[in-house]
Amino acid sequence: MDRVVIESSECKGCRLCVEVCPKHCISIGSEINKLGYQFARFESGDCNACGLCYYVCPEPGAVTVFKETTSQRVPA
Ligand code: SF4
Ligand code: SF4
């Protein structure tokens, strides 16, 4: 299971999650969402579920991080 789910319809493409991720797991694709933004994509890789992408995202509901053992949203 992916540790991070990005809801493409809620993303405004600000790139904060891309810049903050220490593992380079997130990128911005070329597709456009219904809001007219190129949206972020989670690419798995070495994600350690640190939650930084969740905390930095200004859009409520755009990013969900799942801990490996609990599958709980961060913060619970
Ligand atoms: S949880 Fe941490 S390592 Fe995983 S994508 Fe988000 S910022 Fe990157
Ligand atoms: S921080 Fe949030 S709004 Fe900004 S690109 Fe990432 S998912 Fe989209």
48 CB within 6 A, ligand 1? yes
Mean pLDDT across 25-29:
97
User: Does residue 37 contact residue 11 with C-beta atoms inside 8 Å?
Assistant: yes
Domain limits of the chain?
4-65
- pTM beyond 0.85: yes
Mean pLDDT across 18-36:
97
Q: Is the dihedral of CA 30, 25, 45, 70 positive or negative?
A: negative
Split at pLDDT 50, 70, 90, the class of 76 is: very low
Q: Whose CA is nearest to atom 3 of ligand 1?
A: 47
Is a pLDDT exceeding 60 seen at residue 70? Answer: no
Is a pLDDT exceeding 60 seen at residue 39? Answer: yes
What is the pLDDT, as a whole number, of residue 67?
Answer: 83
Q: Which ligand 2 atom lies nearest to the CA of residue 11?
A: 8
Mean pLDDT across 31-52:
95
Architecture of domain 4-65: 2-Layer Sandwich (3.30)
For ligand 1, pick from 2, 3, 67 the residue to mutate: most ligand atoms within 8 Å of CB.
3
